[in-house]
Structures are given as structure tokens and as C-alpha cells.
Amino acid sequence: SSCGKDGGHLKGKDRLTARRAYDSAAKEARRQDILDAAERLFAANGDQLPSVGDIAAAANLAKGTVYLYFGTKEEIFAILLLDGWSRVVEVASRALADEADDARAVERFLASFVKELVERPMFLRLDTMGKAVLEVNMTAEALAAFKAHIRGQLEAAGAILEGRLRLEPGRGAQLLVRTHAMMRGLWQSFGLSPSCANASSPMADRFPAELLEALTEYWRGALQG
């Protein structure tokens, strides 16, 4: 009967939908396996990015499979860098919401920001490679998406700052851009190489306190001006 045919047709659509969902989940899991493998390898040796072949082997995949998900190895680490920034900003932004007093809220925000950076040495090492290594070796499409994502993160985090501290539009993102520049500049001015970020040294040990002091002085002046 037509009713039976309709029922069969609906069941077929359900099976197709389920299959597509399964395939999508499997692809996302494989993509995450690649990212996890790349992160493990880079954490073990921060002097240079691991090769696609090494990443594939660590993820138990064929080298060609990695290229189905990422155009270059630099695109893999650009995603890891974006994920790292998302976590840092998320934790720091929560500190703003947890404190009623503006001055103390900023203090907690900066303390949380520096703490997250120090607890993620791989992120600091990767960030120093952003312009010179990652961006120059990404496809045009991936680079455009990377830049757009960075802008989106800045605007979203900046909006949180503007709402919490009653700043004019655009000021929050500006403060964050300058905060990032100070972070990277201090790290590099200390002469710390990528591999030093995981090691204990007098300069590395000084970095957190120096960064927090510099950011506190900057934010205090910026918000009072």
C-alpha cells in the first residue's frame, strides 16, 4: 500500500540521517585525533613543528589522511593556537564576572590571564611562532579563516570587558591587543627560546611576575586615563 511505501521511505530517510550523523561524528573524532597527536608531539619538543608524517604516525593514520583535514601542518597548529586563546580568555573573563569591584575585577582578570599562560607553556611557545611560521605557511583560505576567528574572539572578549567596565565600543579589543603585544614582547625580550618555555631558568621564573606587573601598570593607567 501507499502507506507502507511512505513508511519505508521515512525509514530510509532516517537511516540516511543516522548514517550522515555517524560519518560526521567519525570525521570530527579523527580530526581531534590529529590535533591531539600534534599537541603531544609539540609539547615534547617545542623547537620546531613536527612533520605531517610524524603527526599521522602518532595519530595512527596515513599521512594522506591528515591532508584530508588540513592543508598544511601549520594549519593544525593554528587551530591549537586558537583553542588555547579561547581557553585563556574564557578563564580570565570569568574572573571579571566573579568580582563586583571594578579595580579588583581587573586585578583578578590579569592574575587569571597570567596564571593560564604559565600553566600552558606550549601555548606561549606556539604563540611566538604565529607570524613568522604559522601564518606564512597556511593556505589563503585557512589564513583568512584564522584571521576572522581571531577578530571574532577579540570582539567577543572586548565586548565582555566593555560591558563589565563600562568602556566605549572598541576599547576592550584595543586593551586586549596591547595586552597580547606586551605578553609576546616580554617573552621575547627575556630571550627565551621556544624550548625554554618548558624549562626552569632564572629568566623563565621571572617572566610571570614581570608580565603581571607590566600589565597591571598598563591597565591601571589605561583605565584611569
Supply the DSSP string of 99-144, one letter for each residue.
Answer: -SSHHHHHHHHHHHHHHHHHH-HHHHHHHTTIIIIIGGGS-HHHHH
**How far is CA 119 from each of CA 84, 89, 109, rounded to the nearest angstrom?**
11, 14, 15
Can you give the pTM of this predicted structure?
0.79
pLDDT (tens digit, 9 = 90+) per residue, 50-94? 999 999 999 999 999 999 999 999 999 999 999 988 888 888 888
pLDDT (tens digit, 9 = 90+) per residue, 115-147? 988 888 788 888 888 888 999 999 999 999 999
